[in-house]
A and B are shown apart, each in its own frame.
Chain A
Amino acid sequence: MESLSFEEAFEQLEAAVSALQDGQMPLEEALRHYEEGMKLAHYCNELLQQAELRVQQLSVDDNGVLIVRPFELS
């Protein structure tokens, strides 16, 4: 889970919720989805609290190759 982006984790959380909404699911599987969903929600919350805006700048070198480098506001 540590490697998931916020968007991916959020998407999986939504999937867990809708999976759990399927009434026919065996209990064991439902519990698994529940735990997974709760973990994802906590993970998303953590990401939100720790996030810091990352800004990069896109440019091209003389050979027309794209370069991405950190951008600092002057």
Chain B
Amino acid sequence: MFAYQAPPVLSVSVLARYLKELLETDDLLHNVWVQGEISGCRTYASGHCYFTLKDAEAQLPCVFFKHARQRSAAPQLRDGMAIAANGSISLYERDGKLQLYVESVELIGEGALFLRFEQLKARLSAEGLFEPERKRPIPEQPAVVGLVTSPDGAALRDMLRVLRTRYPLVQVILSPTLVQGSEAPAAIVAAIDRLNEHGEADVIIVARGGGSIEELWAFNEEVVARAIARSRIPVISGVGHETDFTIADFVADYRASTPTAAATKAVPDIADLQAELDEKQQVLTAILDEKLERLKERLERATYDLQRASPKNVLNQRRQQLDDLTEMLHTRISHLLSLRAERLRGQALRLHSLSPLLTIARGYAVVRRESDQAVITGPQQVQPGEQLTIQVRDGSIPVQVRPSHHSTVPEE
């Protein structure tokens, strides 16, 4: 028989300490890498960062203390990032929570790609590959457009549609290539080089339709960037959607947001060209018209000058001068005559105002002796029976002096 021995009853804190020791002395858990996606990421004012690492079936709380983050130069963590975290597993006794105490993290997948993208971009930028001075102008009217893209992709269809509609004059040379997967970078490089070797394209479009960052990744490879940089033919990039930026975009001479936009940039619009042609014809006609107008003016002026210098004109001029002189003479004479007439009239008026006839006109009379027409002003001047004439306004009256007139006062 054996005696029943009751199991020991432990306090929570004793058990917690026991578990903690167990976890911290385990070789694997002491220094472990765990891969998963970040969620519920919070960074407190203390600088400590808390998040949950999870995959499809499980999750693990994590703590990333400030000193560990600084020591490992960790990137900024965000929800959704895929990372591999290195650290040790232990128990947070207060909450009875098992968690990973993170020492360092590494981005994997999208996060890692992003980091590589930033590093390559910084390096090529430092090398001067993105400098605006390096950008070559895109020809306005290319005769030949080279396309570096997949022969089966929607991007090719989109670009051909745009080219056909906008500028069917252009000749297209497709340099087919893979646009995703591990062999894509080398294929894209070969396709760009091939177009340069062929040498007829005036501009090259490097394009791929939209996709995930992994699918677009080939356009972020250094070899592709360098192939674009060394291309003698100007390169337009049109990779992904409006929001996607690839290294190829930075190196290209022109970055279009999509394959469609790249094709639009590469060629002029036939409607614009037609308008420009019309305008050129109008300009030609206008210039010629103006030229003819100027010539006509000069001709008119020359004709005028010629007429002025002709002998007939000189004769006419003399005739005119003669006319003018004659006219002047007439004017002078008539002026002088009227001046004289005026003076005469003035004298006549004065004469008239002094005339005795004016006095007679007011009812006075003048008496004259008939025999000598002497004016009689007193009775002693006349003899009785003498003939006199009384001149009044409207004529003269003959009278005879009476015999007894010798008094100064008339007899009554």
A51 contacts the other chain (CB 8 A): yes
| Chain B residues, Cβ within 8 Å of A66 | 194, 197-198
Q: Which residue of A lies closest to B171 (CB)?
A: A54
- The answer to whether A58 and B175 have CB atoms under 8 Å apart is yes
Q: Taking chain B's interface residues, is the majority helix, strand, or loop, or is none over half, making it mixed?
A: helix
B171 contacts A30, C-beta separation under 8 Å = no
B283 in contact with A17 (CB, 8 Å): yes
Report the bound CA distance from A7 to B23 in whole Å.
Answer: 78
Q: Are B291 and A27 in contact (CB under 8 A)?
A: yes
Q: Which B residues are in CB contact (< 8 Å) with A56? A: 171-174
Q: Given A5-B143, A13-B280, A41-B280, do A48 and B174 touch, yes or no (CB 8 Å)?
A: no
CB-based contact A68/B198 at 8 Å? yes
Residues 325-357 of chain B, each 1 if its beta carbon lies under 8 Å from chain A, else 0: 000000000000000000000000000000000
Q: How large is the interface on A (under 10, 10 to 19, 20 to 34, 35 or more residues)?
A: 35 or more
Q: Is A52 an interface position by the 8 A CB rule?
A: yes
Q: Within the complex, what minimum Cβ distance (angstroms) separates B323 from chain A?
A: 44
Select the residue from B160, B198, B288 with max chain A CB neighbours within 10 A. Answer: B288
In this complex, which of B146, B151, B152, B169 has the most chain A Cβ atoms within 10 angstroms of its Cβ? B169
Question: Please, how many angstroms separate the alpha-carbon atoms of A57 and B195 in the complex?
Answer: 10
Task: Give Cα A19–Cα B182 distance, bound, in whole angstroms.
Answer: 56
User: Nearest residue in A to B288 (C-beta to C-beta)?
Assistant: A34
Chain A residues, Cβ within 8 Å of B164: 53
Query: For residue B176, which residues in chain A have a CB less than 8 angstroms away from its CB?
Result: 57-59
- On chain A, the residues within 8 Å of B285 by CB distance are 34
Smallest CB-CB A-B distances: 3 pairs: A51-B168, A53-B164, A55-B172
Instruction: Mark A residues whose CB is within 8 Å of B.
Output: 5-7, 10, 13-14, 16-17, 20-21, 23, 25, 27, 30-31, 34, 37-38, 41, 44-45, 47-48, 51-60, 66, 68, 71, 73-74
For the A-B complex with A34-B287, A51-B270 known, give 8 more contacts whose Cβ atoms are closer than 8 Å.
Answer: A5-B143, A41-B281, A51-B169, A56-B172, A57-B174, A60-B194, A66-B197, A74-B151
Q: What are 29 A-to-B residue pairs whose CB atoms are below 8 Å?
A: A14-B280, A20-B284, A20-B291, A23-B291, A27-B292, A30-B291, A34-B284, A37-B284, A38-B284, A41-B280, A41-B281, A45-B274, A53-B164, A53-B170, A55-B160, A55-B172, A56-B172, A56-B174, A57-B173, A57-B174, A58-B146, A58-B173, A60-B194, A66-B197, A68-B173, A68-B198, A71-B151, A71-B172, A74-B151
